[in-house]
Amino acid sequence: MQWRWMTATVAASALAFLTFPAFPEFSSATPWSSAEATESAACDADARAANLDFTLKDMNGEDVALASLKGKVILLNFWATWCGPCKVEIPSFVELQDEYRDEGLAVLGLSVDDTVEKLKPFAEEYSVNYPLLVGLGRDDVQEAFGPVWGIPVTFYIDREGTLCKKHMGLATKEQVERDVRSML
């Protein structure tokens, strides 16, 4: 019994250590977090066309066609209302949407497993100013952008529809803003 708790503690500590951006040199999940890599190219070397052939419902029941956003820089964040790191990131996304909307930024939040009944009060509490998409039952979207092994995961799609970057785990506002600005 004690061995099981020790193993669980070590695993949880390792996950927490690799999730936080304070130690980017130890995290293989965020190789583009260095300033030189971000400033030298807007897209990662393994960039590919994003599959934008999806129409999803937002929390208000409106259709959001991802293809209709081509021509904008899309920040697509996979998240959930119960996710602690997601709650930390969302205020930054709200600020960035306000600041860069007129320059062509479109922030989208795809809730991986929440119902509309959970999304609406969450959006009100966090003053979300961008579409919250219902991803419950839409594993096809996760597979198209994935693999999505955990949340939060943020995808950066340029104006031409290229999936330029993928950031797994918690990102600071500065990291997100640097990547967005390189694409605007």
Residue 164 is among the residues annotated as catalytic for this protein: no
Helix axes 173-183, 84-100, angle to 10 degrees: 40
Q: Can you name the residues that pair with 106 across neighbouring β-strands? A: 74
Question: What is the 8-class DSSP label of residue 123?
Answer: H
Question: What is the 8-class DSSP label of residue 60?
Answer: T
Phi then psi for 27, rounded to 5 degrees?
-105, 115
* 118's tokens: 């959970």
CA–CA distance, 118 with 70 (Å, rounded to integer) = 29
Nearest to 172 by CA among 88, 77, 81, 74: 88
Residue 83 is among the residues annotated as catalytic for this protein: yes
One of 52, 59, 76, 86 is an active-site residue; which one? 86
* 146's tokens: 């994935």
Look-up of token digits 């998240």: 79
One of 83, 119, 141, 176 is an active-site residue; which one? 83
Nearest to 156 by CA among 168, 147, 164, 148: 164
Active site (catalytic) residues: 83, 86
